[in-house]
Amino acid sequence: MSAISKAMEKLMANSSVLRTMFEEGKQMAVKYGKENVFDFSLGNPSTPTPPEFNDAIRQVLDENDSFSLHSYMSNAGYEETRAAIADDLNKRFGSHYGFKDIAMTVGAANAIVAALKVLTDPGDEVVVFAPYFLEYGNYISNFGAVTTVVPPNPPTFIPDPEEFRNALNERTKAVIINNPNNPTGIVYSEDAIKEIAAVLEEAQKKYGHSIYLITDEPYRELVYDGVQVPFIAGYYRNTLMAYSFSKAMSVPGERIGYLAVSPDADEADRISTGLGIAIRVLGCVNEPSLQQKAIVKVLDKFTDVSVYDTNRKILMAGLDKAGLEYVRPDGAFYLFVKTPTEDDREFSERAKNKYHMLLSPGSAFCCPGYVRIAYCVARDTIERALPLFEQLAEEYR
């Protein structure tokens, strides 16, 4: 009998399609040559980290003795770091967070998992909007809670309020929303957020308990054409905001993020206390000290978004020429293309086997009939791939 738990057996059998593709891409690069593989599979930032971030790390090493830098601390992080983040949010969004409302986490992933640890019991339901980042399902099932999916609403992919209402019931504990969105690249407008907030308010009254909105916002800074990302906590009191510096500063391997609990949320202080414990018992203990001391020095330094914007424009023009339909992305670094066949997996396999292009099937985001292109790659990769998209599209005419 295997030592592996049943839950892990299940995870191993359904290992992430995207991670598998990423590994395949590496093998293909060895086999065919790196320049002949067009890997659009993973959202790994391709723009340089702002040099100020690396400088900040060096400064922290120079400024601190080993005890002030390398010791244990509160599980939610250094008070100075949390206060600096609260001030930054208050300045930008007119909010009134205090340090106690911010918990430093090991990226947005850890922020979401910690929030779910605080909020959910087995059998509780957490609602997500398709297409969605499939890890949510794994995060939710960690605690025996159940994922309820609101079906996709093409072509805008703005959630349909009626479908959302239907997904809520007396067991709903939380809702996860991702803005700007992976995989569509859309940015939910202020009106869309107001509608979601209205449905939640109504459901809280109907079911007689708080429903928390976990906003997953690692792409908040990656927006184009002057589009504004609504500050969701300003529209709904029971909001827990998961943020990460992974994408905005091109530091995903460093694992720096936080969860901001709206100070006006029901049981805000108890949730914050719970978060410290969640971070501890999930085994993170605290977000690494070096990162916390460095990040406060560079809170306003983001990567050069214009690089992604140029990639986006080149790609959109190329897909237009190829006659492929897609959702116009205003944010993140993803583009969601309608496949000219309903079988997105077949399309993705064909792209891989015949053209050495790695495109993530929409089914991996609970939305068949589409593929996701992660355009956080070198510009040259996109330019050289455009004729291949044309040839691929031509095969379906």
Interface residues toward ligand PLP, by CB under 6 A: 43, 107-109, 133, 178, 182, 216, 218, 244, 246, 252, 257
Q: Which CB, 107 or 230, lies closer to ligand PLP?
A: 107
Nearer to ligand PLP, 108 or 145 (CB): 108
Asked whether 78 and 104 are in contact (CB, 8 A), the reply is yes
Q: Are 210 and 267 in contact (CB under 8 A)?
A: yes
Q: Which is nearer to ligand PLP, 46 or 182 (CB)?
A: 182
> For residues 111-144, b (16+ Cβ closer than 10 Å) or e, as one string?
bbbbbbbbbbeeebbbbbbbbbbbebbbbbbebe
Q: Is-contact 145 121, C-beta < 8 A?
A: yes
Cβ 299 to ligand PLP shortest distance, Å? 16
Of residues 217 and 344, the one with the C-beta less far from ligand PLP = 217
What does the radius of gyration of the chain's CA atoms come to, in whole angstroms?
A: 21
Minimum distance, C-beta of residue 38 to ligand PLP, in the bound complex (Å): 20
Q: How far is the CB of 350 from ligand PLP (least distance, A)?
A: 25
- Assess contact for 336 and 315: CB atoms under 8 A: no
Which residue number, 49 or 64, has a Cβ lying nearer to ligand PLP? 49
Query: Measured from the CB of residue 336, what is the shortest distance to ligand PLP in angstroms?
Result: 13
Instruction: Give the nearest distance from C-beta 241 to ligand PLP in angstroms.
Output: 12
Minimum distance of ligand PLP from residue 153's CB (angstroms): 18
| Shorter beta-carbon distance to ligand PLP: residue 108 or 174 | 108
Instruction: List CB contacts of 74: < 8 A, sequence separation 6 or more.
Output: 276, 286
In 3-state terms the chain splits into helix, strand, coil percentages (rounded to 5) of 45, 15, 40
As a whole number of angstroms, the distance between CA 382 and CA 380 comes to: 5
Strands (E), 113-184: 125-129, 146-150, 172-178
